[in-house]
Amino acid sequence: MRLSRSLIASLAFALVVGVSCGSDEPDADSVAPSAESEMMVGDIVEVAIAADQFPTLIAAVQAAGLVETLQGDGPFTVFAPSEAAFSAALAALNLTAAELLADTETLTNILTYHVVPGTVMSADLVGASDVAVATVNGAEIVVNEYMGAVTINSATVVAADIAASNGVIHVIDQVLLP
């Protein structure tokens, strides 16, 4: 079942409607806390660094020159492989981290395969069944949800909905290879 375009369109519409349904009149009591909350959360890169759980991912993003992109307006949904996922992938590919980080073309291709345009929260994926979704690198991932467990291709989301000012991070247990 290929619902990627209609699912993305529906999600985008829901986000636009949700944002546009708010009051246009500023509330003096709510404006400052909202801005402060956004500043405290940080962008995707800042949140990933602050989590102190993604040293290989952060090094890879830096090596590929994607820091500024992921600090941009977005919004982005990032499927962030855990450290254990990177270790397993490097072992399976018979590579060292240094070898992977040195191949910026391959690294960029892999990293952009972990990013989807827009903010997709776990609640948005309830009932997903073989939904193909385009990633930033142009290839598609397949999303499934069954009884609360979300999979991206064969990777399982192990931590979801980590908010950032320009999107969301979901931690996965495998590195996705395009």
pLDDT at residue 57, rounded to an integer: 96
92: in domain = yes
Number of H helices, E strands in the chain: 8, 7
pLDDT at residue 114, rounded to an integer: 97
Q: Which structural domain, as residue segments, surrounds residue 162?
A: 4-14+42-172
Give the count of domains, the chain: 1
Compute mean pLDDT per 10 residues along the chain, 178 residues long, and list them. Answer: 33 30 34 36 94 94 96 96 96 93 94 96 94 96 95 97 96 96
178: in domain = no
pLDDT at residue 41, rounded to an integer: 81
177: in domain = no
Please spell the DSSP secondary structure of 62-128, one letter per residue: HHTT-HHHHTSS--EEEEEE-HHHHHHHHHHHT--HHHHHH-HHHHHHHHHTTEEES---GGGGTT-
